């Protein structure tokens, strides 16, 4: 693996059994199987059987294991099985994961994010590890178990052993590209397009500690008149995490069509799905992490599931390029008004150690391979 780069699926296959351990390594002999859990730039982590309901969010001290931390602080212990276990909204849980780290060397790091479909359920899923005082990031040296803090916000969830709510990236050194390097790429290859598929020039792209993305409240040239979805307040029906396409969308969400004045009031206490005004096209040599929070764009969480894989919106040989990015949005403390075309997030560009064997897209069976405009999560359908 190259220094200052992020591991591709090809690199991750080599790391499994050395630095990382998965419960069923036999899948590595069959690409059709392993590409379901090894993504172009990340590895899905799966829930184990053991879990605890906690009094609140908590991280371990430097000399404290997770199992030691939960003693005396957990409300009850849970056991996940095939029947399904209810995870209630506004509660906090810690789940032991099936994957472990054998040897994370000095200079290497693991970063975690919720999977897209977890984020679109308005559920936090944050990585924890023994004696590691940070969420979502783990630096070498480390060897030990991995855990996930799960906090559903809008819906009660039914989860089972083996469900994958989050994913990790493995990097050596610092894979994040500075603005100067991003600009050099933009002069050669467009990374942003209009929704009609026209490339944006370097001069039309704002680069400020990453590539700046803006809000779409106009809805033109998209797949629908809908520009946003907002969760219903105190929604009672459960969401079964394995029930893909089994939940009626409008039981859980209200649709918002193009608002007057092309601006939207984000109410505190509600969860929204919005879309970027730009279509993003990521070549195989790069990956992206979207900023979750940028104080310059208000007191708003703009994204839970920040990883964007190599190949997202990248369609070689086709005239139409780019996918818009669906954003998972919450305003904090007070209402905030968002206007069409205003900055709402930053794409941090990452170097890949190697091109993935299977980039993001339809050939891989990716859930959001083609999207122009806001897109609800895979668990929902608007046809029930």
Task: Specify the DSSP element, H or E, that contains 186.
Answer: helix 179-186
Residue 365: the pLDDT is 65
Q: Which of 47-61, 163-177, 352-366 has the lowest mean pLDDT?
A: 352-366
Question: What tens digit of pLDDT does each residue of 242-267 get?
Answer: 999 999 999 999 999 999 899 999 99
Residue 115: the pLDDT is 95
Residue 305: the pLDDT is 75
Tokens representing 267?
A: 């109410």
Residue 295: the pLDDT is 77
Tokens representing 169?
A: 């990236």
Top-confidence residue, 32 or 313: 313
Give the residue-averaged pLDDT of 115-142.
96
Contact 344, 338 (CB under 8 A): yes
Give the residue-averaged pLDDT of 65-74.
95
CATH class name, domain 179-381: mainly beta
Contact 344, 350 (CB under 8 A): no
Residue 252: the pLDDT is 97
Q: Maximum distance among all alpha carbons in the chain? A: 59
Residue 317: the pLDDT is 83
Report whether pLDDT(384) > 60. Answer: no
pTM of structure: 0.94
Residue closest to 371 by CA, chosen among 294, 308, 329, 284: 308
CATH class name, domain 5-172: mainly beta
Residue intervals of the chain classified under CATH 2.70.40.10 are: 5-172, 179-381
Phi and psi based region of residue 173 (left: phi greater than 0; alpha: psi -120 to 50; beta: remaining): left
Residue 224: the pLDDT is 83
Residue 369: the pLDDT is 62
Question: What tens digit of pLDDT does each residue of 82-94 get?
Answer: 999 999 999 999 9
């Amino acid at each position: 693996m190259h220094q200052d780069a992020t591991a591709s699926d090809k690199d991750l296959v080599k790391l499994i059994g050395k630095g990382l351990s998965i419960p069923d390594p036999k899948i590595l002999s069959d690409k059709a199987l392993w590409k379901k859990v090894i993504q172009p730039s990340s590895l899905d982590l799966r829930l184990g059987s053991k879990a605890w309901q906690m009094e609140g969010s908590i991280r371990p001290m430097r000399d404290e294991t997770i199992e030691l931390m939960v003693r005396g602080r957990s409300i009850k212990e849970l056991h996940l099985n095939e029947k399904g276990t209810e995870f209630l909204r506004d509660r906090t849980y810690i789940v032991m994961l099936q994957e472990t780290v054998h040897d994370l060397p000095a200079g290497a790091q693991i970063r975690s994010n919720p999977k897209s479909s977890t984020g679109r359920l308005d559920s936090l899923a944050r990585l924890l590890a023994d004696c590691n005082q940070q969420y979502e990031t783990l630096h070498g040296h480390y060897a030990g178990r991995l855990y996930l803090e799960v906090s559903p916000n809008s819906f009660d969830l039914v989860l089972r052993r083996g469900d994958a709510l989050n994913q990790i990236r493995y990097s050596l050194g610092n894979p994040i590209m500075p603005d100067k390097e991003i600009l050099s790429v933009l002069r050669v290859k467009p990374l942003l397009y209009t929704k009609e598929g026209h490339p944006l020039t370097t001069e039309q792209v704002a680069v400020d500690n990453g590539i700046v993305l803006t809000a779409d409240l106009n809805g033109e040239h998209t797949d629908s008149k809908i520009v946003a979805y907002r969760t219903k307040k105190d929604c009672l029906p459960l969401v079964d995490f394995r029930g893909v396409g089994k939940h009626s969308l409008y039981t859980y969400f209200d649709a918002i069509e193009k608002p007057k004045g092309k601006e939207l009031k984000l109410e505190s206490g509600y969860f929204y799905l919005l879309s970027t005004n730009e279509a993003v096209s990521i070549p195989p040599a790069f990956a992206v992490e979207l900023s979750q929070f940028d104080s310059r764009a208000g007191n708003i969480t703009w994204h839970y599931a920040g990883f964007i894989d190599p190949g997202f919106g990248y369609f070689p040989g086709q005239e139409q390029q780019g996918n818009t990015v669906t954003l998972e949005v919450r305003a904090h403390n007070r209402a905030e008004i968002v206007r069409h075309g205003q900055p709402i997030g930053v794409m941090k560009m990452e170097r890949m150690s190697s091109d993935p064997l299977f980039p993001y897209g339809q050939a891989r069976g990716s859930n959001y391979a083609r999207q122009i405009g806001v897109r609800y999560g895979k668990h929902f359908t608007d046809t029930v």
